Chain A
């Protein structure tokens, strides 16, 4: 560096504002969303009504307002979602005045492209089929998701702009190197990008941002009374899709959800945290990962997420 550039510009005398880690993460995510808008012809944003995608919508507001979002919102409905999360999804999309598309696994079942062994089987993996069908239907060349690298080991190696081939597959051994903030967004027809603006966020960062921005999230994220059974160390909610098994004791417990996915594989945790601040305090102290405490499907094998991702899972 030459000495001329080391001297501060006239701004030195001004009191410069401090920037904390949330400012940094927010700024990076906005940058990523704008790169996508500048370079991808037909993007879409996955919005489920879950906390990570709620954060994405806030970041999109900061990236594009006062203009409208340069993409529609898309939800892949497994048919096994919590009703209040779906209600929240619809209300939030309406409040923002943005276009919400919904495609359902039920329709893929109707077409015969998804075949399940039983009505109560987890539809989490089946989502991938419906998702890829939607991408094909609308010709999307980029799909924005709220996945984070801290969630799971396979995701730690995920790119911010992550290439998918024409079969929607992720090839972890053949990823594009990602340098500086120069994202290679180019795809051929039929291929697409998955884009993860909050890759570098942790569960704690997400809750701190929700608190800072005063974002509304579905009520089931906060402590409430729920009927559950205890199964393999998890609290399994009692629903028509997940009835108690013979010999299991149904209890009413104070719980909250850390993730809100498919009902058949999402479990709450025991908690009395009734506010975002209390959730943050709990998250700071928690000893179990978000997925470890709540997801039945990730426990199957150590590599189950990696396998699903290769097959096109979000």
Chain B
């Protein structure tokens, strides 16, 4: 960061962390875009650039290849592909950014699902010369499926179409036509050139007809916290904290996944269905008046109630549903196909229960968004509608309204592998 950046840091408000995912293939200039973001926010160090230079020469290329900066592992450089999710970091005086960098190949749907699961925003990259492609639809659908609230469509390589506004407008219209069926939340279109640096961090000279914000300004402006603070209180208990022998401190440690919690608030405890009030909110030696979504704290209640890990404290006025059978969309990760004979451990918030897939309703063709018969079997990277039977009830919300209490993973009991990601639907309709 520059000296100017440092001075800005002193005055700008630090609004926390924004996590985003970049969707696209190397051909769309994804690695160049990430390289550009890191470079122009001064997150790349000289020795990293020198290593990229050495690697570039070793490959017999001349011009510095910024994609090598983000293609991390020896194993994947040998194959010339990116094999997994990598995380990158940069910061501006406004906030810290975490990029989930996932490969764009079709066979790696699971990587994009993984990266999107924690993303607040998704950058969908389109090559201005090619327009909306099948993979654009696929990436947008997955971002939407995983509940990414802010979709930024970055129409890249504008320099290769003479910065033509008509190209940008046509692609935007095409995208809107296809996206109508998805009911996307916040959608923004930005023409840019990652290679030249136009409209990424700096405004650049190439796009005078574009009056909107740069990509970085859009990322800086997204408000994340208010969205989760506004939801009903959900507080999964992770641990019961007791002070050593003799003392009577008994607190419930956890992280507020949504809502606001204040001393004196009435709480419903699940599964016991008991009601109590917040006596104290503790963090180390501090006593806090309130905690907001995202905070890790320890809560002391006024009444003696039997509470253990996996229980949930929640808003009595709008509690989650206690369900033993779930409708969900899942993404299947394992090379072994899913069959309804399998048994799993299902992890949801801080609670794990035994589960099985009662029925595979249908699978979604992620290129056409058509729902098709799964013939009772799912293969790796398939996305499907299923019903899940549980050994004990879980306290759930629809994934659409609360990502943390609406999501789960399935773990194979024998191999311990994570084999599926699930998103709970309370009113499954005809949506893809």
Residues of A at under 8 Å CB distance from B?
A: 1-2, 4-9, 11, 14, 16-21, 23-28, 30-31, 34-35, 37-38, 61-68, 149-150, 153-154, 156-157, 172-173, 175-182, 184, 186-188, 199-200, 202, 204-205, 281, 284-289, 292-293, 302-303, 306-307
Segment touching A, from B6-14, B187-195, B198-206, B270-278:
B6-14
Say whether, besides A17-B292, A65-B284, A67-B244, A180 and B117 are in contact (CB < 8 Å).
yes
Instruction: Determine the distance from Cα of A76 to Cα of B309 in the docked complex, in whole angstroms.
Output: 33
Q: Is the CB of A180 within 8 A of B345?
A: no
Nearest CB of B to A212, in Å: 12
A306 vs B6: C-alpha distance in the bound complex, in angstroms? 33
Selected contact of B47 from candidates A5, A63, A178, A292, CB within 8 Å: A292
**B interface, size bucket:** 35 or more
Contact A182 B407 (CB under 8 A): yes
Interface centre among A28, A30, A37 (most CB of B within 10 A): A30
Check if B37 is an interface residue, CB within 8 A of chain A.
no
**Contact between chains at B296 and A172 (CB < 8 Å):** no
In contact, A64 and B241 (Cβ under 8 angstroms): yes
Cβ-defined contact, A173 with B83, below 8 A: yes
Q: Which residues of B contact A149 (CB under 8 A)?
A: 87, 89
A24 contact set on B, CB distance < 8 A: 16-17, 96, 294
B87-A200 in contact (CB<8A): yes
B74 touches A38 (CB 8 A): no
Tell me the total A-B contact number using a CB cutoff of 8 A. 218
Q: Does B382 contact A (CB under 8 A)?
A: no
A6 to B88, Cβ gap below 8 A?
no
Q: Name which of B160-168, B171-179, B247-255, B355-363 contacts chain A.
A: B247-255
In the complex, B353 has a CB within 8 A of chain A? no
Taking CB atoms, residues of chain B closer than 8 Å to A157 are 72-73, 84-87
Q: List 5 A-B contacts (CB under 8 A).
A: A1-B401, A16-B260, A156-B88, A177-B85, A179-B114
In the complex, the answer to whether B260 meets A179 with C-beta atoms within 8 Å is no
B413 to chain A, nearest CB (A): 9
Closest CB in chain B relative to A93 CB, distance in Å: 18
Summarize B's interface: helix, strand, loop or mixed.
mixed
- Chain B residues near A200 (CB, 8 Å)? 17, 87, 89, 98
Contact A66 B96 (CB under 8 A): no
Q: Contact check, A306 vs B401: say whether CB atoms are below 8 A apart.
A: no
Whether A9 pairs with B315 at a CB distance below 8 angstroms is: yes
Sorted nearest first, the 8 A-B pairs with minimum C-beta distance are: A292-B47, A303-B74, A11-B260, A30-B296, A20-B14, A21-B96, A179-B117, A153-B72
| Shortest distance from the beta carbon of B112 to any chain A beta carbon, whole Å | 11
B1 and A154 contact, CB distance less than 8 A? no
Q: Does B341 contact A (CB under 8 A)?
A: no
Q: How far is the CB of B265 from chain A (nearest CB, A)?
A: 8
**Nearest CB to that of A19 among chain B residues?**
B16
Q: What sequence of 0s and 1s flags, for each residue 56-84 of chain B, a beta carbon within 8 Å of any chain A beta carbon? A: 00000000000000001111000000011
Distance, CA A172 to CA B74, complexed state (A): 10
Contact A184 B238 (CB under 8 A): no
Contacts A154-B72, A179-B407 given: A9-B350 contact, CB under 8 Å? no
Residue on A with the closest CB to B416?
A: A186
Partner of A293, one of B47, B73, B232: B47
CA of A114 to CA of B364 in the docked complex: distance in angstroms?
A: 54
